[in-house]
Amino acid sequence: MEKSTEVELRHIKKCFGPVKANDNVDLKVYAGEIHAILGENGSGKSTLMNILSGLYAPDGGQILMRGEQVSIRSPKDAMEKGIGMIHQHFKLVEALCAWENIVGGMKNHVLLGKKRVLAEIRTLCGKYKLQLDPEKKIYQMTIGEKQTVEIVKALYRGAEIMILDEPTAVLTEQETERLFEILREMKAGGCTVIIITHKLQEVMDISDRVTILRKGVSVDSILTRDSNAERLAELMVGRTIDISVPYVEMPRNRKEPVLSIRDLRIAERGAGEKLKINRLDVCSYEILGIAGVADSGQKELCETITGMQKATGSVQLKGTELIGMDPRAMMKQQIRIGFVPEDRLGMGLAAGLSISDNIALRSYRSEKGLFLNKKEENIQAVDLIKNYNVSTSGGNQAIQSLSGGNIQKVLLGREIDRGADFFIAAYPVRGLDIGASNFIYEKLNEEKKKGVAILFIGEDLDVLLGICDRIAVLHSGELMGVVEAKTTTKEQLGLLMMGQKLEGTEYAAN
């Protein structure tokens, strides 16, 4: 018996500037099922769900509910139609109680009626076997409890269709199990659940059907029980590799470990391990890529190496132990690591200052005496602008008035000019056009030829497969394996990124 279509998205189009986030996407979700949406970064899955939940308006296409076309122009519209969305970053007010969050903003009774609300919450929790202390304050709750509050909030407002965005990204194993039980209860209670994920295990464990998105297009929609890991991986990342990114081959015998990681662990209260790397080396004359969906531990890895994050284990840079040092200590010990962070204006640069001032950020300390050597700084700035082709009126221009590509060039130039033996580039070409991206690849390859060990964190598999020698894959903070870039397949990478451990890839090529 054919189930009725609860929600259908037809020919959805959404562009952000030149980027086609959703290109003619179709999605059919049947009533009472748990439907997974699988895709890597940039696949358009979040955009699609934001459209369904009213945060974005589509440029084209229709939304149908139970066969009838509807218009959803705001989160309120979505809520009225019974669609509740639970974001990855919770929208809760920390200082208030759970019940206040659940009922806040609703336009029904003038008097809050705490007793009535508490009773209604209790009934709701009983129906779906949810555990919640409504009078507890949010800031006192664990992440799992906060998620439960979000779920109850959506149910309380009449949601029959629940969308969860990467819900297990921040949960421990037990909490994930609990969540799955809750989802099963909701399904039994008549709700329809859509879950956005990149985790293979989740898809297999909990979903009835799965739709795969890739680069803004819906690739396929299949019954979970009819699929397997390999098929899903291949659908998620595709098969062909588009190599237009320049690669430089360096002789193997010159490669020596520059950065050595052993038993690295970052534990977090109540949320499992944020980072777990047993063994990883980055060698000279090589570019090691880090692949993985967003928030897989890349940021934590970078911050641990550069001293901004505490961790246990060992991270050695040419024999010097980095664990236990903060940036100041590193500076005192003359440890130099080139670092282009993901958050450019937030961490790498000072937004309100000029180009020249930003360039001086790493080197001002070495200037003699109390005074700043402005002349020296100006020369540095002029040199950098020339060498890196930065399009600007001069060193005194405010850095935040430059285009994204030029900001990145300044950052890259400053870091490369430090002459470090080890370099981290985190998403270095994000948001840049082809010209600027190629420029950056070339500069990185130049450094590689000089013997620098480079860690390249990226989200585009084509780029990683093109420029890297080896690729390490992170999933939920854990190092899944390291593969040779020139002999691996996208499917292999896809499986690793989704959490599948593969034979023989654990410490490949180390």
105 belongs to the binding site for other proteins (CB under 8 A)? yes
Residue 340: how many CB atoms within 10 A of its CB? Answer: 23
Q: Is 444 helix (H, G, I), strand (E, B) or coil?
A: helix
- Residues 61-80 contacting other proteins, CB under 8 A: 61-62, 69, 71, 74-76, 79
394 belongs to the binding site for other proteins (CB under 8 A)? no
> Tokens at residue 158, please?
């009449």
Q: What is the DSSP letter of 351?
A: T
By the 10 Å C-beta count (0-12 exposed, 13-18 middle, 19+ buried), 267 is classed as: middle
Closest separation in Å from C-beta 100 to other proteins: 6
Considering only residues 306, 380, 392, 437, which one is a binding residue for other proteins as defined by CB under 8 A? 306
Q: What is the DSSP letter of 139?
A: G
Closest separation in Å from C-beta 299 to other proteins: 13
Considering only residues 119, 188, 351, 382, which one is a binding residue for other proteins as defined by CB under 8 A? 351
Region of 191-199, 313-321, 393-401, 491-499 interacting with other proteins (CB under 8 A): 393-401
379 belongs to the binding site for other proteins (CB under 8 A)? no
Region of 19-27, 283-291, 353-361, 446-454 interacting with other proteins (CB under 8 A): 353-361
| Binding residues for other proteins, total number by CB under 8 A | 59
Residues 6+ apart with CB under 8 A from 262: 278, 279, 313, 314, 315, 316
Strand partners, 424: 339, 455
Closer CB to other proteins, 93 or 243, in the complex? 93
Residues 6+ apart with CB under 8 A from 4: 30, 31, 66, 67
501 neighbors 480 (Cβ within 8 angstroms): yes
x/- string (CB under 8 A) for other proteins, residues 171-190? --------------------
Region of 193-201, 221-229, 232-240, 359-367 interacting with other proteins (CB under 8 A): 359-367
Closer CB to other proteins, 1 or 370, in the complex? 370
Strand partners, 217: 214
Closer CB to other proteins, 62 or 387, in the complex? 62
1 belongs to the binding site for other proteins (CB under 8 A)? no
136 belongs to the binding site for other proteins (CB under 8 A)? no
Q: What is the DSSP letter of 219?
A: E
By the 10 Å C-beta count (0-12 exposed, 13-18 middle, 19+ buried), 375 is classed as: exposed
Region of 269-277, 346-354, 421-429, 435-443 interacting with other proteins (CB under 8 A): 346-354
By the 10 Å C-beta count (0-12 exposed, 13-18 middle, 19+ buried), 450 is classed as: exposed
Closest separation in Å from C-beta 368 to other proteins: 10
Strand partners, 290: 457, 472
Closest separation in Å from C-beta 470 to other proteins: 28
CA dist 218 and 52 (Å) reads 15
115 belongs to the binding site for other proteins (CB under 8 A)? no
Q: Please, what is the end-to-end C-alpha distance for the chain in angstroms?
A: 54
204 belongs to the binding site for other proteins (CB under 8 A)? no
Q: What is the DSSP letter of 120?
A: H
271 belongs to the binding site for other proteins (CB under 8 A)? no
225 belongs to the binding site for other proteins (CB under 8 A)? no
139 belongs to the binding site for other proteins (CB under 8 A)? yes
CA dist 25 and 48 (Å) reads 8
List contacts with other proteins (CB under 8 A): 57, 60-62, 69, 71, 74-76, 79, 91-96, 100, 103-112, 114, 139, 306, 308, 327-328, 330-331, 341, 345-353, 357, 360-362, 364-365, 367, 370-372, 374, 398, 400-401
